[in-house]
Structure 1
Amino acid sequence: QVDRIVDADSFALSGLQKTQLLLLVHSGSRGLGQAILRRHVEAFSHNGLPEDSDDARRYLAEHDDALAFARSNRALIACRILQQLRAEGEPRLDVAHNFVEPCTVAGEAGWLHRKGATPDGQGLVIIPGSRGDYSWLVKPVVSEESLFSLAHGAGRKWMRTECKDRLSAKFTPRQLCRTGMGSRVICRDRQLIYEEAPQAYKSIDSVVDCLADAGLITPVACLRPVLTLKTSGEKSA
């Protein structure tokens, strides 16, 4: 839910309402992109390809298919959640953060690879925190110096493999189903609920403050988690 608005004009232009609940979905191509990359590396190793070659065009076409599939996944997840909640909603933002696109930097044309980086030229974006922290709606400031990109989230402090060892002596899975902010977490995967614990992530405010201080964003609104559904897709949530 919208906790507070810090840029009223930009928020008004977003079409969002403070009285509305917002549904945030984080999902990709569910293995399709990884399979495409694996086939490519097996055939060409990590060497580049001439951009006008048939092999490059084939790879980029498959890359675009994976992006489209990921968008469809997010739309389907949102639709199913809304059905379960007996609610209605409409999409406002859909921004990928793992992809490649043509780009010109310092007068030189090439290809920009984003891995966990949000593009700054698609209007308002959300920089999410952990399930136990705020998320931020921000207005990017297009910047060549930052390679036209922003942080795509708070970022991890701990590797996934170490989370359960660090936390299991302090918290049971049941205890992790409530956050310090009072929000509820639904997750039946005992490993995942530790891997995605708020303690494993950086403070979102520190990330957003750094981006704002660097002149790369204008914060618009702070979002507070109410309910978080966590699933790896391999087990029922």
Structure 2
Amino acid sequence: MSIEVEKVEENIYEIPKEGEMNVPARIYASEKLLEKIKDDKTLEQVKNVATLPGIQKHSIVMPDGHQGYGFPIGGVAAVSMENGVVSPGGIGYDINCGVRVLKTDLTAEEIEGHEQQLANIMYSKIPAGLGGGGYIDIDEDELEEVLEKGMDWMLENGHAKESDLERCEENGRLPGDPSKVPEKAKKRGIKQLGSLGSGNHFLEVQRVDEIFNEEVAEKFGLEKDQILVMIHSGSRGLGHQTCTEYLRKFEKQYPEEVESLPDKELIYAPIEDQPAQDYIDAMYAVANFAWCNRQAMTEAIRDCFDRIFGETEIDLVYDVCHNIAKEETHEVDGKDVDVLVHRKGATRAMPKGRKEVPEVYEDVGQPVLIPGTMGTSSYILVGGQNSLNVSFGSTAHGAGRLKSRTQAKQDYWGEDVQRDLKHEGVYVKAVSGSTVAEEAPGAYKDVDEVIKVSDELDIGRKVAKMKPIVNIKG
């Protein structure tokens, strides 16, 4: 199906409102990235999202956009809290999948020669891949508290520092209700607190390669050649099961909507209805678990570095989620409107002046953490002022897939990828060769191009670029 796309201005393209669309669809991309985006169903999906009741201004896809479940990955949709809906496909199966970056007091020179040792100890300490096993053992009662309290539970139980909460989106706690999380989901999550998971999730030791904004970098505590650790993971089986069960509930509860939707994967519930309220309560509880999961891995990483390098200072720069829906206030047609912003593979990117920015960064803006691939750069950005005008305070979340996992496994051999990366000074340790093949650098878009678009649009501005040294894959 050919979809008409009009260029609005540099890096902004639009699918005009037509048919059942309630708003136009916007694509933020360069010409080069747009050509890649056209290769799958991304444009069709962002157009379909524009049909959701109560959607405001535009249905949006970011420069790393690619085909997802219902919503494109890289999709953003803000719907009115008065007459809008919540769509689990606009959050995704891995609720509060997100990224955190830790800064250390070590330099690249100080870890030289210890790369393989670091890879081995991190791999042995932190469970990776499918299935159970976590760094922290909890029982059923403790799981209920994790789901309710999030990072507050980690602090109370000696698994976090105050500064970890101060540098975490929402301070690591949303008003979730554990009773709304399905029992089967809880059974899947109870043994997974402090585990990496599989697919594109990773732990990566990185070197700060370049600083673009000295003032903001200093505020974030970043210096050239400093060693950082990036964690990319989410809510594991707990989130997947929760999403699955609520999708089925919505399909049964709203059969007429299923029939009328351009894609049944967009199934939704009106925000004021009880099923929607139950889902939001469950989603927030699961998000709390995901923050604790990344925090548990942080504790493990601190232990790993201490064992190799002696007492090491490791502090959180920031933790941000990129699969979530949150109530926020944004200006629409000159008026402040309360909206539920769905971000599915998109990162909140609030500039200074917004109440969502943590107090420690209020005079510069929110850190935005964007991973690349095992063989390319990752970036730290800061929320751009224009994000409020064009993207409901959002930007990209990564490089974005270029090839499906199946295609990548046909095109690459895991052991070859590992060997080539080691020649470039990147030590990769993974559960299987097929995982490495699926995540080969060539399976992804050009992250530098994605960041360039974000920076030029002033939705997320460049602060620092990092290069990989050690990568642990599930």
Give me the TM-score of the superposition, normalised by structure 2: 0.46
Aligned partner of residue 153 in structure 1, secondary structure: coil
Q: Is the 8 A contact 2:374 2:440 kept in 1?
A: yes
The offset of 1:82, in angstroms, is 2.8
The offset of 1:177, in angstroms, is 5.4
| Alignment CA distance shift 1:105-1:158 (3 Å) | farther
Q: Choose the corresponding residue for 1:145, options 390, 413, 425.
A: 390
Amino acid at match of 1:66: V
Match of 1:132 in 2: 375
Q: Percent identity?
A: 30
Q: Choose the corresponding residue for 1:71, options 282, 291, 295.
A: 291
Match of 2:416 in 1: 172
* Distance of 2:456 and 2:340 partners within structure 1: 28
1:31 aligns with 2:260: no
Structure with the larger strand share = 2
| Alignment CA distance shift 1:192-1:11 (3 Å) | same
1:7 aligns with 2:213: yes
Give me the TM-score of the superposition, normalised by structure 1: 0.88
* Distance of 2:416 and 2:382 partners within structure 1: 38
The offset of 1:205, in angstroms, is 0.9
1:65-90 superposed Cα distances (whole Å, 9 cap, x missing partner): 11111111111122223322324412
Match of 1:216 in 2: 459
Match of 2:248 in 1: 42
1:111 aligns with 2:340: yes
| Alignment CA distance shift 1:205-1:188 (3 Å) | same
1:23-57 superposed Cα distances (whole Å, 9 cap, x missing partner): 10000000222211211121121543342333322
Amino acid at match of 2:319: D
* Distance of 1:215 and 1:174 partners within structure 2: 36
Q: Choose the corresponding residue for 1:156, options 386, 398, 401.
A: 401
1:148-183 superposed Cα distances (whole Å, 9 cap, x missing partner): 210001111111111121013x96365255264x21
* Distance of 1:50 and 1:164 partners within structure 2: 40
* Distance of 1:179 and 1:229 partners within structure 2: 17
* Distance of 1:127 and 1:215 partners within structure 2: 15
* Distance of 1:19 and 1:213 partners within structure 2: 26
Match of 2:446 in 1: 203
* Distance of 1:47 and 1:174 partners within structure 2: 41
Amino acid at match of 2:339: G
Aligned partner of residue 340 in structure 2, secondary structure: strand
The offset of 1:227, in angstroms, is 0.7
1:126-152 superposed Cα distances (whole Å, 9 cap, x missing partner): 211101001111112132312321000
* Distance of 2:378 and 2:418 partners within structure 1: 24
Aligned partner of residue 21 in structure 1, secondary structure: strand
Amino acid at match of 1:178: K
* Distance of 1:178 and 1:35 partners within structure 2: 37
Q: Choose the corresponding residue for 1:54, options 274, 281, 301.
A: 274
Aligned partner of residue 37 in structure 1, secondary structure: helix
Between structure 1 and structure 2, the one with the greater Rg is 2
| Alignment CA distance shift 1:174-1:23 (3 Å) | closer
Count of aligned residue pairs for this structure pair: 229
Deviates more, 1:211-220 or 1:20-29: 211-220
Match of 1:102 in 2: 327
Structure 1 unaligned runs (5+)?
A: 232-237
* Distance of 1:92 and 1:75 partners within structure 2: 13
Structure 2 unaligned runs (5+)?
A: 1-206, 252-265, 307-311, 351-356, 358-365
Amino acid at match of 2:322: H
Amino acid at match of 1:152: H
Aligned partner of residue 164 in structure 1, secondary structure: helix
Q: Is the 8 A contact 1:154 1:203 kept in 2?
A: yes
Aligned partner of residue 154 in structure 1, secondary structure: coil
